[in-house]
Amino acid sequence: MHRRRCLSAIVALGVIASLLLPATVTAPPAAAAPAGTKKVIANLFEWNWTSVASECQSTLGPKGYGWVQVSPPQEHVRGNQWWLAYQPVSYRIESRKGTRAQFQSMVNTCHAAGVKVIVDAVINHMSGQDNGGTGWAGSSYGHYNYPGIYGFQDFHYCGRNGGNDIANYGDRYEVQNCELVNLSDLKTESDYVRTKIAGYLNDLLSLGVDGFRLDASKHMPAADIAAIKGKLSRSAYIVQEVIYGAGEPIQPTEYTGNGDVHEFRYGKDLARVFRSERLAYLRNFGEGWGHLPSASAAVFVDNHDTQRDVGGVLTYRDRGIYALANAFMLAWPYGSPTVMSSYTFTDRDAGPPSDASNKTLNTTCYSGWECEHRWGVIANMVGFRNATDGAGMTNWYDNGNNHIAFSRTGRGFLTVNDEDYAITGRSYYTGLPAGRYCDVIHGTYANGSCSGPVITVDGNGWFAANVPAHDAVAVHVGARLS
């Protein structure tokens, strides 16, 4: 479950401010499924089901997002803090984000828009409330008692650290048998527990869910996850939350046999480079930095956990630099990318905008909700990712500092200038077919036209452009003008 630059000067540049504007979208008929290979996930963190459904139709489908990740849908403890959704009290699909019927309708609507649904699934533990109580949907529970589901015998009691909590991440047994911040730790080696967990996941599959983000996977042996996966009624996309720790006995590579694994080093390394190092260092970013193999890596600039760790990663608060980092992620041929979509917060524990009963309000973008997935540069670069899927990286250029460029072989080209000055009077070799292309950093391509600057690639694959400070240019074959 958990720049060395003056940002005010960056945001003052009109060209960077334009990166943050929502991309123009035109919703297709609900039954229309966007064509092509689409792998980018939008993490609509803590959105309610009605709002997710609407967003699939209006934005995610039209902009080419392949997946939407939704927050835990099971009944949880009462309250407002975001982390209460990660404290299940039953496996009923009833939460502050909506009812089972609303969830089912959301899945159907997203599928009609060509968007698959991945659920954030909490299966390592139940609640962290010592005295128990009544859950969101009325189920009674105790710390180790969930009537009709689990009893005392279904949990771990490691007997360490005065309260069964994890203290030493250098001890494999403790990490996987003690409690994560007092959350009652399920005995996932038990066939009974595995069957109950699989029953919950299979219920979601019966509603049409396409995949699962398995929360707190590091706290379950990979073999236990494999056994639960073996009980699923049909195949599903799996991505596991396993946070890398240097020198720790439990490593993300242990889990790749079950599915994809979150590469937490990616966002931290990218933030450090953009803030205080040189973009030129990114030439072999990913596996060349010791990260997971690309085919198993799920990557993100930030997620709902890391954006609450002050200074660790870039977040929506970094505005222009955050947009550029996401543009790089979506253009770079490593891993499977997830775009974060946040609500505004100052208190790290604060839950989403809610009514007096703590029911999550409908999303209103840019008013309590950040909606980074709609920012012009990010939304438009999803199309770049789709158009360049499977193409390698060629034609790397850097100036030894903070101006880089590269091609996705024959399919797309990106140049990022993160210097404090404009790069003028130079040409770029793209290897793209000759033609006129929409610069998707600054404009939206739709119906054969571009709302922003048009880049002309000559018969030899070159184009000339001036790139302002802290800005970029991106073109791809999917946004080529007639």
Is 215 one of the catalytic residues?
yes
CATH no., domain 393-481: 2.60.40.1180
What pLDDT, in 10s, does the model give residues 281-307? 999 999 999 999 999 999 999 999 999
Q: Which residues, in sequence order, are CB contacts of 261 under 8 Å at separation 6+?
A: 217, 239, 240, 242, 252, 253, 255, 292, 296, 297, 298
Q: Which residues, in sequence order, are CB contacts of 373 under 8 Å at separation 6+?
A: 42, 44, 59, 60, 65, 339, 340, 341, 379
Q: Which of 215, 155, 157, 222 is nearest to 187 (CA)?
A: 155
Please say whether the structural domain 7-387 has been given the CATH code 3.20.20.80: yes
Distances (CA, A) of 237 to 118, 124, 229, 479: 8, 18, 10, 29
* Sign of the Cα pseudo-torsion (432, 389, 397, 22, in order): positive
Q: Which of 89, 92, 90, 96 is nearest to 70 (CA)?
A: 96
Report the pLDDT value the prediction gives residue 24, as an integer from 0 to 100: 54
How many contiguous H segments (helices) and E segments (strands) does the chain have? 11, 21
> What are the extents of the domains in the chain?
7-387, 393-481
What pLDDT, in 10s, does the model give residues 428-472? 999 999 999 999 999 999 999 999 999 999 999 999 999 999 999
Out of 215, 254, 263, 372, the active site residue is 215
* Sign of the Cα pseudo-torsion (286, 294, 43, 414, in order): positive
d(CA 69, CA 241): 14
Q: Which of 107, 22, 108 is nearest to 59 (CA)?
A: 22
* CB-based contact 194:270 (threshold 8 Å): no
pTM of the entire predicted model: 0.94
CA 451 to chain centre: 28
To which residue do tokens 């980018």 refer? Answer: 40
- Running DSSP on this structure, what letter comes out for residue 401? S
Give the three-state DSSP class for 58: helix
Out of 46, 120, 210, 241, the active site residue is 241
What pLDDT, in 10s, does the model give residues 27-66? 333 222 223 479 999 999 999 999 999 999 999 999 999 9
The strand ranges marked E within 25-87 are 41-44, 67-70
* CB-based contact 10:363 (threshold 8 Å): no
103: amino acid identity, one letter: F
CA 81 to chain centre: 20
Report the pLDDT value the prediction gives residue 26, as an integer from 0 to 100: 43
pLDDT band at 1 (very low <50, low <70, confident <90, very high): low
What pLDDT, in 10s, does the model give residues 62-88? 999 999 999 999 999 999 999 999 999
* CB-based contact 77:133 (threshold 8 Å): yes
Q: Where are the alpha helices (DSSP H) in 410-477?
A: none
Q: What rounded mean pLDDT belongs to the chain?
A: 93
- Average pLDDT of span 159-186: 96
Residue 24, by phi and psi: left (phi above 0), alpha (psi -120 to 50) or beta? beta
Percentage of the chain lying above the pLDDT 70 cut: 93
* CB-based contact 348:309 (threshold 8 Å): no
d(CA 344, CA 317): 9
Report the pLDDT value the prediction gives residue 108, as an integer from 0 to 100: 98
Cβ neighbours of 311 (radius 10 Å): 6
Is 370 one of the catalytic residues?
no
d(CA 86, CA 215): 9
DSSP state letters, 301-358: S--TTGGGSTTTS--GGGTHHHHHHHHHHHHSSSSEEEEEE-B--SSTT---SB-TT-
127: amino acid identity, one letter: S
What pLDDT, in 10s, does the model give residues 302-344? 999 999 987 799 999 999 999 999 999 999 999 999 999 999 9
